[in-house]
A and B are shown apart, each in its own frame.
Chain A
Amino acid sequence: MFFLRLKFMTIDGVSHGASNSPRLGRRVTAARLQAGLFGFWTALVFAFLYIPIILLVVFSFNSSRLNIRWEGFSTRWYGELFGNKVLIDAFQNSLSVAIATTILATLLGTVGAWMLYRYKFPYQRALGLLIFIPMVMPEVLMGVSLLVLFVQFLHLPLGFLTLTIAHTTFCFPFVLVGVQARLQGLDPFLEEAAMDLGATPLQAFWKVIVPYLMPAIVSGALMSFTLSLDEYIVSVFTTGAQSQTLPLKVYGMAKVGLNPQLNALSSIFILVTFLFAFGSYFFSRNKKT
């Protein structure tokens, strides 16, 4: 198979072989020290990322309604959460919009980045600037102008479709910029070699370029999913009653105190994600060894 050989040639040259240089010992120590320091730092940063999350989980078991002081252990909020159809529906809406957005944004961003890299289109620099507009445009401007566009020009009913379009619009630049960065310095002979070995451009893209871009695609997808899940202002203006997402229910809740059911919901979601992530980790590890 041609792509297997190519992979061997250029992608991921994981060669852990030790070098035979004379000053090996000192350099290995220095490299280890660097890895150790970076590892320690990484652990610190992970602690920083998870501090509020630990608090959030702890407070999901707090008996107090106000999310501020610990007053005793209770599983009350978990019980109430399962009876709260509105919150669970909103969460489901958030998830389906985030998933649809992730798929669309990843497709648009990846294909767009590749085409802009591979070909020289006219006005390419202007095109490259346009992509940043949704990123810099304040959310309220984007929300209101998309609302006017949907309602007055396109006559689309507000709901899942309009919400997904709006979210995709501000998410795909994140994918595109990430994939562009990964493409820089790509071996130009990678695609050509594949085609010399008889692959069509589509095959070359699918079997050689996409695997090479995969880390950037995954990163872009993760970013899109996260951005979509948490968007409030754009959502207010571009959704309808049938697609009320979680942030729409949460904002404005602060005035009576954020409902600890939300902590319970977040805790469960994190737990499920962890189980899934660690599960796939052990799966992939067992496959390797």
Chain B
Amino acid sequence: MLSDEAVPSTEIAVERISMVFGKKDHEVEALRDVSFEIYKNEFVSLLGPSGCGKSTLLRLMADLLEPTSGRITIGQEHPREMRLRRKFGIVFQNPTLFEWRTVKDNIELPLEVFGIKKSEYSKISDQLLEMVGLTPFKHHYPWQLSGGMQQRVAIARALSLDPPILFMDEPFSALDEFTKEKLQLDLLEIKKKTNKTIVFVTHSIPEAVFLSDRVIVLSSHPGRVHSILNMDREEGSPSLVRQSGLFHEMTAAVRKCFYKESDSLDGQMV
């Protein structure tokens, strides 16, 4: 855990990022002057209401978009360099599985693209299937699976190249509450096993508090960093954490950011 290390090393540095969409007459300012750092092996959530630019921010880190101004570096490199070296995996809100591929074939897609030999990647995908508990379903097609299982496949796929970083864009927000809680526990388990750096976009306060080492709270219109909160994570069984006093304390702390914010918003909107 973070607190054990003396000096955490920076994995992702976001420096004075601004992002404007649209052409001259219809400009929309999505992000204004956003800066923060994400440390190695950390679980960070980007939390905020819709329209705060959290997904945009994730896409900027993943080199799927170019910022209007500012700079992002991942391990001292440009995100493009990291993308070309396949240093991160992505999970979207929708599973985004290829419907003509079976579960196993879907997980192997990045490996194929990377040009790994078939004999090798079959072993990798089998391990990943085991990890997400889908071994019995490996020859099923995506449409034969439930939403939660599909999202597990997507997570396994993102891990298949064993990238040091995992970007997740509201991966559980389309799932029902029970599936969501199960997958959150699974994700923490995966995090413990693989020790990835995870950047997790969400609009759920409890989810962010439950999962993260730190929560970056964004405010909207335009998106700016409101505050960065350290979740002093408790050791112990994660399922107990949800009922702990600290969890409620932290949730309340995060919630306070928004109440202050919404008060001021009310004032502006009148």
Asked whether A and B interact, the reply is: no
Residues of B near any A CB (own CB < 8 A) = none
